[in-house]
Amino acid sequence: MPGDRFTHLDDQGRAQMVDVTDKAETQRQATAMARIRMEPQTLAMIRDQRHPKGDVLATARIAGIQAAKKTWDLIPMCHPLLLTKVTVAIDEEGEDALLIRASCKLKGTTGVEMEALTAASVAALTLYDMCKAVDRGMVIEAICLLEKEGGRSGHYVRP
């Protein structure tokens, strides 16, 4: 396992917020993804904008952006961050899935992986929420970090 210990645990094993006071500010970015599988007719309804709740994709993108900005409020040990850019892209993947990619960026003392992961997750949950009346069998899967840059640990790209 990388590193000597989990940074969110103190010497007695208690949860703590990491002190980033003395860390250098660097450009940081992260991209995460989530996939939501559904019935092909549900995807067609979304694509053709025939959903009774309106533009499902626009709503999910906005929800993802809002979620990234509120990550510190949802994940107990996350720092409040001044994000400088958040993007959420949602693309069709085959006839039965949507692929969500969320990217976050800032210049700061801590990374934005959790913000990107939260954005992708909440966008997927919003798609589920908006479409559950027509397709309760949807599955959210493959939530993961795709890439991160900046900070002491450097550049990571998912293999």
Q: Catalytic site residues?
A: 129
Rounded CA separation 64/124 (Å): 8
Token reading at 113: 């992986």
- Measured CA distances, 46 to 116, 119, 120, 133 (Å): 24, 20, 18, 13
Three-class DSSP category at 156? strand
Contact 25, 107 (CB under 8 A): yes
Token reading at 74: 């949802």
Rounded CA separation 92/7 (Å): 37
Rounded CA separation 149/159 (Å): 15
The pairing of strands 139-149 and 26-37 is antiparallel
